[in-house]
Amino acid sequence: MSPPRTIPALIALALALAGCSASPEPDNRRCLAHTPAGDIAGTGKDGLCVFRGIRYAAPPTGELRFHPPQPPPAWTGTLRADDGSRVCPQVRSSSEEYPDDREVFGDEDCLRLNVWTPVSGKGDRPVIVFVHGGAARIGTANEARYAGDTLARVGDAVVVTINYRLGVLGWSELGGLDPALRGSGNNGLRDQIAALDWVRTNIAAFGGDPANVTAVGESAGAFSLSALLATDRPERLFRRVVLQSGSGYLVHPRPGPPPPIGDLAALTTMPAADLVTRQEKTLGRIAPGTTSAVYFGPSVDGTLVLDTPERRLAEGHARGVDLLLGTTRDEVNFFGQFGPDPAAGLAAVAEDQPRFFPAALRDRRAEIAAVYRRDRSPTDATLAMFSDQVMRLPAIRMAEAQARWRPTYLYEFAWSPPGGLGAVHTAELPFVFGTLRFVGVPGGAEALSGDRAALEALSGQMVRAWTAFARTGNPDWPSYRPPTRTTRIWDVRGPDVLDDPRRAEREAWPALPDALELSSAGR
Query: Known catalytic residues?
Result: 219, 331, 425
- CA dist., res. 212 & res. 326, Å (int): 22
How many angstroms from the chain centroid is the CA of residue 475? 18
List residues bridging with 499 in a β-sheet: 486
Backbone angle region of 5, left / alpha / beta, with phi > 0 → left and psi within -120 to 50 → alpha:
beta
The sheet that has 158-162: what strands, in order across it? 43-45, 48-55, 112-118, 158-162, 125-131, 208-218, 240-244, 322-328, 408-413, 486-490, 496-499
Cβ neighbours of 260 (radius 10 Å):
20
Bridge pairing between strands 32-35 and 78-80: unpaired
Q: What is the 3 state secondary structure string of 343-379? A: HHHHHHHHHHHHHHCCHHHHHHHHHHHHHHCCCCCHH
How many angstroms from the chain centroid is the CA of residue 141? 10
How many angstroms from the chain centroid is the CA of residue 499? 26
- CA dist., res. 491 & res. 487, Å (int): 13
Of 144, 237, 147, which is closest to residue 192 (Cα–Cα)?
A: 237
- CA dist., res. 285 & res. 292, Å (int): 10
Q: What is the SS3 assignment for 117?
A: strand
Of 145, 187, 148, which is closest to residue 164 (Cα–Cα)?
A: 187
| Burial tier of 366 (Cβ tally within 10 Å: 0-12, 13-18, 19+) | exposed
Please provide the distance, in angstroms rounded to a whole number, between the alpha carbons at the two ends of the chain. 55
Radius of gyration of the chain (CA): 22
Count Cα atoms within 13 angstroms, Cβ side, for 503: 8
List residues bridging with 376 in a β-sheet: none
- CA dist., res. 59 & res. 188, Å (int): 13
Look at the chain and count its residues.
523
